[in-house]
Amino acid sequence: MASAELTSLDEVISNSLKGKELEEFNRIHYGRIDQCALFISSVAAQKAASNGFEIKAYDFPARKEECRKPRIVRLGLIQHSIAISTDNPITQQRLAIFEKVQKIISAAAAEQVNILCLQEAWNMPFAFCTREKQPWCDFAEPVLTGPSTVFLAELAVKYDMVIISPILERDDIHGDTIWNTAVVINEFGKVIGKHRKNHIPRVGDFNESTYYFEGNTGHPVFETKYGKVAINICYGRHHPLNWLMFGINGAEIVFNPSATVSGLSEHLWAVEARNAAIANSYYTCAINRVGTESFPNEFTSGDGKPAHKDFGHFYGSSYVTAPDGSRTPGLSRIKDGLLIAQVDLNLCRQIKDKWGFTMTQRLDLYAQSLNEAIKHDYVPQVVHK
Please pick, from the candidates 24, 87, 176, 298, the single residue that binds a second copy as defined by CB under 8 A. 24
> x/- site string to a second copy, residues 261 to 280, per CB under 8 A?
-----xxx-xxx-xx--xx-
Closest distance to a second copy from the beta carbon of 302 (Å): 10
* Best CA proximity match to 117, nearest among 129, 126, 125, 108: 108
Closest distance to a second copy from the beta carbon of 286 (Å): 13
Q: Which of residues 167-186 bind a second copy (CB under 8 A)?
A: 184, 186
Closest distance to a second copy from the beta carbon of 219 (Å): 6
Cα distance between residue 114 and residue 127, in whole Å: 31
Q: What distance lies between CA 152 and its chain's CA centroid?
A: 17
Helix axes 262-280 and 240-248, enclosed angle (nearest 10):
30
Closest distance to a second copy from the beta carbon of 333 (Å): 9
- Report if residue 21 touches a second copy, rule: CB under 8 A: yes
Closest distance to a second copy from the beta carbon of 206 (Å): 10
Closest distance to a second copy from the beta carbon of 54 (Å): 18
* Best CA proximity match to 100, nearest among 116, 79, 128, 75: 79
Q: Which of residues 219-258 bind a second copy (CB under 8 A)?
A: 219-225, 228, 235, 238-241, 243-245, 248-250
| Catalytic residue list contains 120 | yes
- Report if residue 308 touches a second copy, rule: CB under 8 A: no
Classified as helix, coil or strand, 372 is helix
Q: Which of 234, 285, 293, 335 is catalytic?
A: 234
Cα distance between residue 221 and residue 194, in whole Å: 10
| Catalytic residue list contains 305 | no
Q: Which of residues 44-73 bind a second copy (CB under 8 A)?
A: none
CB 185 within 8 A of CB 165: yes
Helix (H) or strand (E) holding 292: strand 290-299
Choices 25-33, 105-113, 145-153, 283-291 (CB under 8 A): range interacting with a second copy: 25-33
Choices 30-38, 77-85, 115-123, 151-159 (CB under 8 A): range interacting with a second copy: 30-38
- Report if residue 84 touches a second copy, rule: CB under 8 A: no
> x/- site string to a second copy, residues 346 to 375, per CB under 8 A?
--------xxxx-xxxxxxxxx-xxx-xx-
Q: Which is nearer to a second copy, 227 or 337 (CB)?
A: 227
What phi and psi values does residue 152 have, to the nearest 5 degrees? -75, -30
* Best CA proximity match to 184, nearest among 99, 251, 139: 251
Q: Which residues of 135-149 are buried (b: 16+ CB within 10 A; e: fewer)?
A: ebbebbbbbeebbbb
Q: DSSP string covering 85-140, please?
A: -TTS-HHHHHHHHHHHHHHHHHHHHHTT-SEEEPPTTTTS--GGGS---TTGGGG-
- Report if residue 17 touches a second copy, rule: CB under 8 A: yes
Cα distance between residue 368 and residue 372, in whole Å: 7
Q: Which is nearer to a second copy, 119 or 321 (CB)?
A: 321
| Catalytic residue list contains 348 | no
- Report if residue 218 touches a second copy, rule: CB under 8 A: yes
Q: Which is nearer to a second copy, 100 or 228 (CB)?
A: 228
Cα distance between residue 178 and residue 286, in whole Å: 24
Closest distance to a second copy from the beta carbon of 262 (Å): 8
Q: Which active-site residues does the annotation give?
A: 120, 197, 234
